Amino acid sequence: MRLVLQRVSSASVTVAGRETGAIGRGLLVLLGIEKGDTPGAGAWLARKLVAARLFPDDSGKLNRNIREIGGRALVVSQFTLFGTLDKGTRPDFHRAAPPELARALYETFLGQLEAELGEPVARGEFGADMQVALVNDGPVTLILDSPRSDR
């Protein structure tokens, strides 16, 4: 699994003109699921995400996590995180998990993250054409991959 974490002042997701999720200060989380991923990878990422010190303390150092600042999370599934342009100019998504597996792991990850945060997580709509709006704060953007034995 791969997460792209973006610290935001605000973020929202819209599907067919309907807002499916929105947050104020917190993290926009783009979630990519790869063939071979497991629920254990999602649990590891959820713990790491909640503990990540991506928010400044009073002296401006990145010493606070999402819970400490009372932030929220917005999770958007994004299979293109495992796309490549290794051959030619058209993206190849052969590393991305098939939709049936990805949907189940996406839902599992949402539950794991909600358990870690102790509150509901805003979300996009799996498999939909989504419009994501955000105000990137900092900007602070990190990529976090789950541990895998074959990487």
**6-19 pLDDT, tens digit each:** 999 999 999 999 99
Bridge partners, residue 24, by sequence: none
Asked if 58 and 64 count as a contact pair (C-beta separation under 8 A), the reply is no
Sign of CA dihedral 124, 73, 3, 116: negative
pTM above 0.85, yes or no: yes
79 is annotated as an active-site residue: yes
Q: What is the reported pLDDT for 148?
A: 72
Q: Which of 6, 14, 55, 79 is catalytic?
A: 79
Q: Which of 6, 14, 78, 112 is catalytic?
A: 78
Task: For the chain, list residues with pLDDT below 70.
Answer: 149-151
CA dist 140 and 151 (Å) reads 25
Q: Which of 80, 84, 93, 131 is catalytic?
A: 80
131 is annotated as an active-site residue: no
6 is annotated as an active-site residue: no
Rg value, the chain, Cα = 15
CA dist 87 and 134 (Å) reads 32
